Structure 1
């Protein structure tokens, strides 16, 4: 099959793609301007309430928040840009002319789908290089109530990891890597699923591929006796990063970084289903732009003079917004463990891809 023949002429394809992209990014600029202004109204008071903060900190907040708004509302802009472009083409009878030349509905939409694929690629790169970093920085800034941000030295609290059958609970970890120090260590030593003894120690440090704890004591469950052990070695094979990965914000990590964190957490024996769903959504989220021409295609077909063009445009918006509702619902169910991670991220995309195809075929008939 000659894929070049699947598209309209180069002139028509460029005309349709340019029309779609101009409207998409114009709508995105308007949405970002309005939403950023509304968000700033609620946050500027908190920022300026901190002693020493001024206009520079307000603009810093704008710079950190804007990428997140762009990422979140880009698919909405693609949907509205699609509907506006297709409505104008329909209103000017250009779709009728294209259909009369022998083009199918899929061929009419082909330039928009290719342009939407380009938007999806740009969106993924933008999320990886800019949004993840700005989100992570803004999250840290909010934790200190927009005050001076402390240097993150890796201090963590209330962390547990798994070493074989044993469970290790640490009240506080300071430092990173081989310099990490453990405080108030409790090791629940198990035989299968049965608790055999409990080892406690006030502090611990890295020792080879394990950890050396001092002033250790062991309470034996069967005999009910406490024994002083002094300095002992525990947790062979447990790495420092398995302790320091106590909390993970998937929005603040790139795809590669999040995948590495999930692997570390799996080795630590900690649950990762919600993070796996977020990992898959880093792919399915940007690709949702490809769905928008299909979901908004109902505005392109049908006689504009019938007076139903507005109704068709509303139907297209309804399908698009229904997709975003289903996407958020599936992610929420994935976080609760009700859906598998892959299903939570991809089920809405695949479902609405089939719905869009069904609507397109019905419109063509």
Structure 2
């Protein structure tokens, strides 16, 4: 008699979900520890090169980098955990026993999909509450080459702002509002689209409706003469928000803050398609864990003694990794403006959902 319930028995569902979650988490821990070790070996020289940095700074780097690695490789771990779980069950004839009892392929995969939804929800919360903050702090620290950074200071690197015909570049932007400070400032004075002079300054702060530049040097393009001045007020009408908004990054803000930043950028006339793609990807990214059991399900079916179990596992792994390649490509095209934000974030998910379901239906037939 065919089992018409969506899930198998409660005992089988709990057994499969527990096995799947434990193996996925074991893979995640092993994978992240290896990658963290390799990453730390690559960055430790840069961190210790700064005077005053020591072992505590290495551990601080690990505390900021570890959440990023967990969030990035969680879907990979779910993929590998699914393959290990289903391949082992197939090898031990557990899948054959379930099929003989009238349990369909969809019912076999259902507990894994439900557990993946829980993993995706936890991944979303983890990313929004921990990963975004760690990423912002790490980017700030890396912007000053792992040097001293005052607590609470935000640092934007390489921010460009247009003021009429002129262009202003700030190597670093710290603070906010009236406390905004620019460092390593370059002002490109243009008239009629032609460069007239280049003004450089060590730092700048808001003053007199513009910016007071300190330790100024001005290079005249026509005469090639260089003049110096202790200070100069320039870029009148340019607000501090234009510099702090010029370097908004989707991975540094939670979904609510990013939505507000997008609204502010649109009001200021900045392009926002890349940030909108990043906003949607904050949902589709963690949700990719739900796809992994479906894409790896091909490893569950087919007789293990037929010699095709390894081939099926490779096919499942190939489908999973193909998803990540297509997802990164679509997100990159969205950042370039070639794809609409919604398409860039959700098209890979929809495509591989259909592919996984097609493979599963063909397998069941």
Shared fold (TM-score, shorter chain, > 0.5): yes
Q: Counterparts of 1:10-29 in structure 2 under 5 Å?
A: 10-29=10-29
SS of residue paired to 1:16: helix
Using the TM superposition, give the Cα deviation of residue 101 of structure 1 relative to its aligned residue in structure 2, in angstroms. 2.0
C-alpha distance in 2 between matches for 1:356 and 1:160: 46
SS of residue paired to 1:285: helix
Q: Counterparts of 1:90-239 in structure 2 under 5 Å?
A: 90-150=90-150, 152=153, 159-160=160-161, 176-177=176-177
C-alpha distance in 2 between matches for 1:351 and 1:242: 39
C-alpha distance in 1 between matches for 2:144 and 2:8: 55
1:76 maps to: 76
Using the TM superposition, give the Cα deviation of residue 154 of structure 1 relative to its aligned residue in structure 2, in angstroms. 7.3
* Residues 97/167 of structure 1: CA separation in 2 closer, same or farther (3 Å cut): farther
Q: Counterparts of 1:340-355 in structure 2 under 5 Å?
A: 340-355=340-355
* Residues 174/301 of structure 1: CA separation in 2 closer, same or farther (3 Å cut): closer
C-alpha distance in 1 between matches for 2:143 and 2:243: 21
2:7 maps to: 7
**8 Å contact 1:161–1:268 — kept in the other structure?**
no
C-alpha distance in 1 between matches for 2:11 and 2:117: 19
Write out per-residue CA displacement over residues 54-93 of structure 1, whole angstroms, 9 at most, x where no aligned residue.
1111111111111111111100000000011011111122
C-alpha distance in 1 between matches for 2:26 and 2:158: 46
SS of residue paired to 2:161: strand
2:225 maps to: none
Using the TM superposition, give the Cα deviation of residue 159 of structure 1 relative to its aligned residue in structure 2, in angstroms. 4.4
**8 Å contact 2:143–2:157 — kept in the other structure?**
no
C-alpha distance in 1 between matches for 2:144 and 2:262: 27
TM-score normalized by the length of structure 1: 0.80
* Residues 52/351 of structure 1: CA separation in 2 closer, same or farther (3 Å cut): same
Structure 2 spans left out of the alignment, 5+ residues:
194-203, 213-235
SS of residue paired to 1:125: helix
Write out per-residue CA displacement over residues 241-281 of structure 1, whole angstroms, 9 at most, x where no aligned residue.
34431212221111111111111111100111111111111
**8 Å contact 2:140–2:155 — kept in the other structure?**
no
**Number of matched pairs:** 330
RMSD: 3.4
Using the TM superposition, give the Cα deviation of residue 285 of structure 1 relative to its aligned residue in structure 2, in angstroms. 0.5
C-alpha distance in 2 between matches for 1:119 and 1:96: 27
C-alpha distance in 2 between matches for 1:272 and 1:241: 16
**8 Å contact 2:25–2:77 — kept in the other structure?**
yes
**8 Å contact 1:161–1:243 — kept in the other structure?**
no
Using the TM superposition, give the Cα deviation of residue 177 of structure 1 relative to its aligned residue in structure 2, in angstroms. 2.8
* Residues 275/103 of structure 1: CA separation in 2 closer, same or farther (3 Å cut): same
SS of residue paired to 1:246: helix
Structure 1 spans left out of the alignment, 5+ residues:
189-193, 196-202, 215-233
C-alpha distance in 1 between matches for 2:150 and 2:181: 19
